[in-house]
Structure 1
Amino acid sequence: MKIALKLLGLMLFFCVGQLVAQVPDNVIMTESGNSQVVEQDPPTDDITDKRTIETVRILPYDPVREADIFWEKRIWRVIDIREKMNLPFAYPERPFFTILQEAAENEEINVYSAEDDKFTHRLSPDEVASMGASVDTVTTFDPVTYEEKIQVVRNELNPEDIKRYRLKEVWFFDEETSRMQVRILGIAPLLDVKDENGNFKYEQVMFWVYYPEARQVLAREKVFTAGNDAAPITWEALMEMRFFSSYIYKESNVHNRRLQDYVQGVDLLLEADKIKQTIFNFEHDLWEY
């Protein structure tokens, strides 16, 4: 009799152990005896929890006195993300435009109207969210009553429609440090506007981002680096190191016109290269060898 009771106790203990082992880790038992599912954090999609980017601190710009600016030139550039060097701008998991748009909608950065590039009219988060979005009406039928209904569908902006960015910058020679410097002032995404058949019509400047205010946000975002995923850089570092390809489409001039207003074709690229070489020669000619 004692042996039978011991065997029965062992069987009950084994069965209870099996039931406990089958209960998932995210399920707990309440005081009333009911089970409750508790949400858990997703597993780390890596071999370790990397937080280097989150702790990056940006260095403020060195103060520059107006009296120390010996020479200055404003330059406008275009970054085409279809070029091989600029492919990180179109990284599908986290496109550069998505970073700017989300930061603007969350009021982490200020964006300004494309009426001009002087950052005069600030846009609200709702205005930024509605940019590039379209509203269509679709006719649907009820499967039971076959009643015709008109449904309004909102089409959000596709980041893949952003193929180019404009860049506004200032080149200046600082007498205090005796060197040529460049400061980026603004970034503007260009939206490809298409017709009903999907054919390209024109480019539209969406908004201007004041870059000095956006540096803190860009310093938290990682850039995809080919060759070594363990050595990422931030967007702020990429812009400051000028690790991108671009071409000049405008310089400050008395007529306030772009290069394409007076040169076309190959001459446009030659004129842009001439402006670039002029800046280089100016700094070079300041020294004696």
Structure 2
Amino acid sequence: MKKITSLLIVLTLGLTFCNSSIAQGTTEEQAPRDRIYDRFSPSEREIIPYDHIRESDVFMEKRIWRVIDSREKINLPFKYEGIDWKDMKPLITIFNDAIKEGSVVYDDEYFKIPLTPEAFLKKTGSIDTIALYDIDGNYTHDTIVTNEFDPNSVKKFRVKEDWFFDKETSTLQVRILGIAPIYTDPDAGELALYWVYYPDFRKILVKQDVFNPKNDAIRFSWDDIFEGRLFGSYIIKESNVLDRKIQDYKQGVDALMEAEKIKQEMFEWEHDLWSL
């Protein structure tokens, strides 16, 4: 009888130890939730497709080029400089990661010349040859050092878009066609790093979160930012017969006033249409 009792005690202690170990292992595998509720994954999001536009329904159309400067307060999410927002990435990093995974970008704003992987690596990094010496100062050999691209060097983004009046819906609409990160070349000035064809990249941007400074419960995606026009920008060019930018014929404050004039003319055109 004593043997049976001892055996039962041993089995009970063994089961208790096993259950404790299993519970401990489960606890170690599941990290604490950093929120009061479970959020759905951004990967579940899908874009809202555009309505089909027929040529016969376009009553008026104007092409506009504008610049988004990430140093403006409203545009701070475009860089996230010096801040670790975990799953939130600056726009340039999203673009570069997508390119490395096989997405196609272009070397020109007309989307005719695809940027090769070699050209992309050349634009987003550099290779230097450095001579190495021993402790006595004698040359030993050369080594190749790869300089990684600094995403913080991109301060601006150029946007190419079409504004048009749709007769079917009687609305003035805008469709973004391309986005280009801008870097500063010591000799040539500001140049486009590459051009992203925005309609193709929407399916990538919709799955990337953007910080919402007004409400943590409502998350924006990069698709929301662009489709909702939740950014600050200024016009640098409109379609014209000489294909000139504003800076080619206006400077300083006059250039800013010209950009505002173009924006005002578009507003007045729509306003006057309803006044006829």
Fold in common (TM above 0.5):
yes
Shift, 1:40, TM fit: 5.7
Q: Take 1:184 and 1:21, find their aligned partners in 2: how far apart are those partners?
A: 58
Once the two structures are aligned, what percentage of the paired residues are identical? 44
What is the Cα-based RMSD across aligned positions, in Å? 3.3
Q: AA paired with 1:287?
A: W
Shift, 1:52, TM fit: 4.8
Partner of 2:97: 102
Q: Take 1:159 and 1:285, find their aligned partners in 2: how far apart are those partners?
A: 44
Q: Take 1:209 and 1:118, find their aligned partners in 2: how far apart are those partners?
A: 10
Q: What's the TM-score, normalizing by structure 2?
A: 0.83
- The residue correspondences of 1:193-212 to structure 2 (distance < 5 A) are 193=185, 202-212=189-199
Alignment match of 2:150 (pick from 158, 167, 175): 158
The answer (yes or no) to whether the contact 1:70–1:172 under 8 Å persists in 2 is yes
SS of the residue 2:56 aligns to: helix
Shift, 1:17, TM fit: 8.3
Q: Does 1:215 align with 2:202?
A: yes
Partner of 2:65: 76
Alignment match of 2:105 (pick from 85, 106, 111): 111
Shift, 1:150, TM fit: 2.7
SS of the residue 1:112 aligns to: coil
Q: AA paired with 2:98?
A: A
Partner of 1:53: 42
Shift, 1:153, TM fit: 1.2
Shift, 1:44, TM fit: 5.0
Q: AA paired with 1:216?
A: K
Q: Does 1:170 align with 2:162?
A: yes
Shift, 1:15, TM fit: 11
Q: AA paired with 1:163?
A: K
Q: AA paired with 1:74?
A: R
Q: Take 1:243 and 1:235, find their aligned partners in 2: how far apart are those partners?
A: 10
Deviations 1:153-181 (Å, cap 9, x if unpaired)? Answer: 10111000000000000001111111111
Segments of structure 1 that go 5 or more residues without pairing to the other structure are: 27-38, 196-200
Q: What's the TM-score, normalizing by structure 1?
A: 0.79
Q: AA paired with 1:176?
A: E
Partner of 1:36: none
Q: Does 1:274 align with 2:261?
A: yes
Greater per-residue helix proportion: 2
Q: AA paired with 1:82?
A: R
With over 3 angstroms needed to count, the CA separation of the structure-2 counterparts of 1:18 and 1:256, relative to structure 1, is same
Shift, 1:59, TM fit: 1.3
Bigger Cα displacement from structure 2, 258-267 vs 16-25? 16-25
Q: Take 1:40 and 1:149, find their aligned partners in 2: how far apart are those partners?
A: 49
Q: Take 2:226 and 2:143, find their aligned partners in 1: how far apart are those partners?
A: 44
Deviations 1:222-253 (Å, cap 9, x if unpaired)? Answer: 00111432211100011000000000000000
With over 3 angstroms needed to count, the CA separation of the structure-2 counterparts of 1:14 and 1:147, relative to structure 1, is farther
Q: AA paired with 1:104?
A: I
Shift, 1:104, TM fit: 1.6
With over 3 angstroms needed to count, the CA separation of the structure-2 counterparts of 1:147 and 1:264, relative to structure 1, is closer
Partner of 1:35: none
SS of the residue 1:25 aligns to: helix
Q: AA paired with 2:100?
A: E
With over 3 angstroms needed to count, the CA separation of the structure-2 counterparts of 1:52 and 1:104, relative to structure 1, is same
Bigger Cα displacement from structure 2, 274-283 vs 14-23? 14-23
Alignment match of 2:227 (pick from 240, 248, 256): 240
The number of aligned residues is 265
Q: Take 1:120 and 1:42, find their aligned partners in 2: how far apart are those partners?
A: 48
Segments of structure 2 that go 5 or more residues without pairing to the other structure are: none
Partner of 1:25: 25
Q: Take 1:44 and 1:19, find their aligned partners in 2: how far apart are those partners?
A: 26
Q: Take 2:14 and 2:41, find their aligned partners in 1: how far apart are those partners?
A: 48
Pick the structure with greater CA Rg. Answer: 1
Runs of 4+ in 1 over 6 A off after TM superposition: 13-24
Q: Take 2:145 and 2:69, find their aligned partners in 1: how far apart are those partners?
A: 31
Q: Take 1:136 and 1:286, find their aligned partners in 2: how far apart are those partners?
A: 59
